[in-house]
Every structure is written in structure tokens, then in C-alpha cells.
Amino acid sequence: MQYILLAFIASLIIFTKLGCAAARQSTYEQNSGPPTAKSDEPAQSAASLLTSGRNILQQSINENNLDAMYAARATFERTLTDKSLSAWSHYYIALTDYRIANYLLAQGKKDKDRASKHLKEAAEHLEKVTREEVTREDAKTIAAEVYALLSSVYGRQISLSGIKGMFLGPKSGNLLKKAEQLAPDNPRVVLSTAISAFNTPKMWGGSKERAQEGLQRAAELFAREKPTDPIHPVWGHSETYAWLGIAYMDRDEKDSARAAFEKALEIDPDNGWVKYDLLPKMKKEN
């Protein structure tokens, strides 16, 4: 009987300690979470958060600011609770992961694993959208943008591991075809197709000539683009001229390349990729 009583007391002590630990953990999680809006401050809508996050992301890309990219991602994550906009939320989180991966890969091999993780997460977010039924009026626009971006993500994954090209290559190509069928005049779809053609070896269907034509067409489409919804993507215009400059450099047409880079900066004077990387490299080679 004495042993039973001692065991009972020991059990009470253990459960009491576990309960205190759980309470401390719960308190910590509540205190360490994102700050909640004060009662006298109106909550920001998911749509306005998407627009705000999009602006933060573009500025972070221009400034090559990794911390700001993560801030943009956190902003997009806050919009996931609005089911009516969740497809766009996943799209923008994936776009941010894709941009972060590109930033990390530009730093060298040391960040390759982190970049791969972000590409994997980008693919997962976009694949989730492709599996769900989107009932919004802009469902076709969402699908075209998602297909084009997912194709680019797969392409980047292939660049890190050539063996993945065996199964991701066909997937990437099929996604671009679907995007073109849904939105043949979407400039980001045309841009993604052109970049794919430029980076894909000729033996696997790539073509520098077709890429050049696609980039020129994308530039024309961007010039005429008029977004009908403030949450729709608007990125790519300045980037198109950056890629045009790269294509001209590949053909050793340096004057045309310089003109393309200057046009990119005319569209977006803060384009850090062109201002601090592409143009200085071209001038150094001259």
C-alpha cells in the first residue's frame, strides 16, 4: 500500500510539471507570434496585403535585399486565410521563393541547399493551386500565371540537378503549352517561354533565335499591358529587356545589348540586376 501511495504522489508531481511546461510553451507561442492589430486599428484586407507584399518584393529585388524578400513572403503568408484569394496567395509566395532562390544561387555554391529548399517550396505552392478548383472570375488568368511560373521553377531545379531534366523537362514544356493555350498574349507567359527556349540546349528543343523573337514579342505585349485588377502580377517588363540584352550579348551585338539594358533602366531605373551586374559586366568586357 505504501508503494502504491508513493507511486500516486509521484504521478501527481509529474503531471503537474508537464502541465506547467505546457502552459509556459503556450504562453511563449502566443507572445512570440506576429503582433496582433490593436482594436482601434482596422485590419488590413488580404487584397491590400497582396498589393503591399508585391511592392515590397519588387523593391527587395531591385535592392538585392534578402531580408526584405523574406518580409514580402511573410506578408503574402498572412493572406492565406482568405480562401477567395488563396490561389493568388500561393502564387506570390512561390514567386518570392523563386526570387529568393535566384538571389541565393547568385551568392555561390554555399547557398545551393537553401536555394533548392526554396525552389521545392515554390513548386509545392504552385502545384497546390493546380490541384484545386478555382472558381474566381479570373481563374484562367490565375492558371496561366501559375503554369508559367511553375515551368520556370522546374527549369531552375533542372539547372541545379541535370538528372531532374528527365522528368521535370517534359513537365515544364507541357506547362508552358497549357499557359499559352489559356493566355497566348500574356507577356509573362511569352517571357517565360522565351527564357526557356534560350536556356534549353538545342538538342532538347531550345532555340536562341526563337528566344529572341519571343523576348521582342514579350516587350511589345508589356508595353500594351493594362492590368484589370490591382492584385494581378505586373512584373517582367524591365526584366524582358534585361534578357534581350543578354540575348544580344550572346550574339556579340554589343550596341543592341547596351540599348536593351538602357531601355530596362528607362522602364525601371532601380533595376539592380541591370544597373549593378549586367551593364558593368558588359562595360568591363569592352
Q: Are residues 76 and 171 in the same domain?
A: yes
Range of the domain at 250: 184-271
The pTM assigned to this predicted structure is 0.83
Q: Please state, in angstroms and as integers, the Cα–Cα distance from residue 174 to each residue in 95, 127, 169, 189, 190, following that order.
A: 20, 14, 9, 13, 14
19 within a domain of the structure (yes/no):
no
pLDDT at 133: 86
Query: Regarding predicted confidence, which is higher, 66 or 22?
Result: 66
- pLDDT of residue 57 exceeding 90, the answer is yes
pLDDT at 213: 98
Q: Please state, in angstroms and as integers, the Cα–Cα distance from residue 202 to each residue in 152, 194, 284, following that order.
A: 18, 13, 29
- pLDDT of residue 58 exceeding 90, the answer is yes
Give residue 261's Cα distance to chain centre: 23
Digit-coded pLDDT (tens) for 120-143: 999 999 999 999 988 888 999 999
> Last residue of a domain, which of 164, 183, 202?
183
**Per-chain mean pLDDT for the chain:** 86
pLDDT at 228: 86
Query: Helix and strand tally (H, E) in the chain?
Result: 13, 0
> Last residue of a domain, which of 159, 183, 207?
183
Q: Please state, in angstroms and as integers, the Cα–Cα distance from residue 114 to each residue in 117, 121, 136, 263, following that order.
A: 5, 11, 34, 33
Q: Are residues 122 and 190 in the same domain?
A: no
Digit-coded pLDDT (tens) for 220-267: 999 999 988 999 999 999 999 999 999 999 999 999 999 999 999 999
- pLDDT of residue 73 exceeding 90, the answer is yes
Q: Are residues 128 and 148 in the same domain?
A: yes
Q: Are residues 242 and 162 in the same domain?
A: no
